[in-house]
Amino acid sequence: MNTPLSVPEEIYLACRYFLPRILFWQSQWGDLAIALSNFPKSCTDVSTPEFWEHWKSGWSDLGDRYVAQAETCSYKMGQRHLFRSATSCYHWAEFMYFSDSDQKGALRQRVKDCFVKSWDENVRPLNRDKIDWNGVEIPYYLLLPDCVDPHQPLPCVIMSNGLDSVTEVEVITFAEHFVNRGFAAFLFDGPGQGINLGRSPIPVNFEEVVDSIIDTLSADARIDEKRLGFFGVSFGGYIALRVAKHLGNKFKAVVNLSGGPYITPFEKMKRRLKEDFQYAFMQPEKTAMPNLFARLTLDLSGGCETNVLSIHGELDDIFPVSGIQDLDHKWGDRHEAIIYEQEVHVCLNHINQYIVAIVDWMGSQLTL
């Protein structure tokens, strides 16, 4: 006898940390129920490759169903809606899957392809292009608000992914808020990010990548290079702090969402986090990671030359909240923080509140 479609309780409990993230960006509860309906109830350990193999299969199958429906849909808006849903499904299929780099890369390409098909260029052009940085091709989108005055260059926010997010799902959602506020938004896949994940490692000196982006924006007459902001989520928040430290004189404001000046020791991390970091930095040997983490530790001495807002969870197990307290101490009035006492990494239960607070704060800085 058939039973109502639902997320198995055992699987819900295993993956509940991720659910606010999945449901905030484009996916619906029904997508969860369909993607996870055949999940083995005995496979509940998120630290195992087996869990993410089943997870990948469920989400990628649902993505395929959305694509098949989109390709037979008779009207453009319906097609775009379905391709946008497929974009999310393919991302959730791969975001914590590390067992097969070819499959992961193929899913990330599907994310990008479906996103482009979902976007209405007549409403808001993506302004797609590429930058070369040390031989790495960096694709980007430059989103502009409505009714651009050609005689009034726009403030612009450069936006960075974390280790496992993608430009076309998480970052685009933040970007649309900035664009609705009247800012341009520059979204990119740097080395070890987005489509470049697994193709090139994330460089320690990521601020050099950002410097090349600034050069590109400085040559664009639509952008006011004196009113630049930077936003980064998770490891992108750490990148934001590097930008504040090393390029602060080129930015009016920087937002760090759940990054920090130093990372929890590698040996204390959960298995899936270890795999996440190893994959993004293309370090097959775990023995190399403690030294890498030491190199990543940000020297806070000397302050910074821009204003920084940090959003952080007191229970963060990747970037300890003590790092945010160190920023307060070392950077003084240049740094302010919103800390959620009962939240872990990225404060997922409060996305709906802090996404507005971030845009509000950035607006107060870039319109000065």
Cα dist from 288 to 100, 173, 186, 205, 298, whole Å: 21, 35, 33, 17, 18
| 8 Å CB contact between 296 and 264 | no
| 8 Å CB contact between 359 and 181 | yes
**Interatomic CA distance for residues 175 and 359, integer angstroms:** 10
Per-residue pLDDT at 356: 98
Radius of gyration of the chain (CA): 20
**All residues at 6 or more sequence positions from 8 whose CB lies less than 8 Å from its CB, including other chains:** 36, 37, 39, 41
- Domain assignment of residue 93, yes or no: yes
Using a pLDDT cut of 90, give the percent of the chain over it. 94
Same domain, 30 and 159: no
Same domain, 25 and 67: yes
Per-residue pLDDT at 4: 87
Same domain, 183 and 80: no
Using a pLDDT cut of 70, give the percent of the chain over it. 99
Same domain, 100 and 232: no
Write out 230-293 in H/E/C secondary structure.
EEEECHHHHHHHHHHHHHHHHCCEEEEECCCCCCCCHHHCCHHHHHHHHHHHCCCCHHHHHHHH
- Domain assignment of residue 55, yes or no: yes
Same domain, 201 and 288: yes
**Interatomic CA distance for residues 254 and 240, integer angstroms:** 6
Same domain, 107 and 131: no
- Domain assignment of residue 86, yes or no: yes
10 Å Cβ neighbour count for 212?
Answer: 14
- Domain assignment of residue 290, yes or no: yes
Asked if pLDDT for residue 148 goes beyond 90, the answer is no
- Domain assignment of residue 3, yes or no: no
Q: How many domains does the chain have?
A: 2
| 8 Å CB contact between 238 and 260 | yes
- Domain assignment of residue 251, yes or no: yes
Q: Identify which of 201, 237, 224 has the alpha carbon closest to the alpha carbon of residue 316.
A: 237
**All residues at 6 or more sequence positions from 266 whose CB lies less than 8 Å from its CB, including other chains:** 274, 277, 286, 289, 290, 293
- Domain assignment of residue 199, yes or no: yes
Lowest mean pLDDT among 193-202, 324-333, 359-368: 359-368
Q: Is 127 left (phi over 0), alpha (psi -120 to 50) or beta?
A: left
* pLDDT one-digit tens code per residue, 258-269: 999 999 999 999
| C-alpha 1: how far from chain center | 42
The whole-chain average pLDDT of the chain stands at 96
Per-residue pLDDT at 81: 97
* pLDDT one-digit tens code per residue, 215-228: 999 999 999 999 99
Asked if pLDDT for residue 41 goes beyond 90, the answer is no
CATH code at position 90: 1.20.1440
Cα dist from 209 to 171, 180, 205, 244, whole Å: 18, 27, 8, 14
Same domain, 189 and 83: no
The letter for the amino acid at 148 is V
| 8 Å CB contact between 66 and 86 | yes
Domain interval for residue 76: 9-118
Lowest mean pLDDT among 40-44, 100-104, 189-193: 40-44
| 8 Å CB contact between 206 and 242 | yes
Same domain, 112 and 132: no
Q: End-to-end distance of the chain based on CA atoms, in angstroms?
A: 65
Same domain, 99 and 138: no
- With a threshold of 0.85, does the pTM exceed it? yes
Asked if pLDDT for residue 113 goes beyond 70, the answer is yes
Structure tokens at 164: 């496992």
Q: How confident is the model at residue 20 (pLDDT cuts 50, 70, 90)?
A: very high
Q: How confident is the model at residue 368 (pLDDT cuts 50, 70, 90)?
A: low
| 8 Å CB contact between 362 and 183 | yes
Same domain, 155 and 276: yes
> Last residue of a domain, which of 88, 118, 148?
118
> Last residue of a domain, which of 118, 136, 151?
118
C-alpha atoms less than 13 angstroms from C-alpha of 248 in its C-beta half-sphere: 16
**Interatomic CA distance for residues 29 and 25, integer angstroms:** 11
**Interatomic CA distance for residues 251 and 365, integer angstroms:** 10
* pLDDT one-digit tens code per residue, 156-207: 999 999 999 999 999 999 999 999 999 999 999 999 999 999 999 999 999 9
Q: Average of pLDDT values for 137-161?
A: 94
Q: How confident is the model at residue 1 (pLDDT cuts 50, 70, 90)?
A: low
Same domain, 131 and 112: no
- Domain assignment of residue 4, yes or no: no
Structure tokens at 87: 């974009």
Same domain, 69 and 162: no
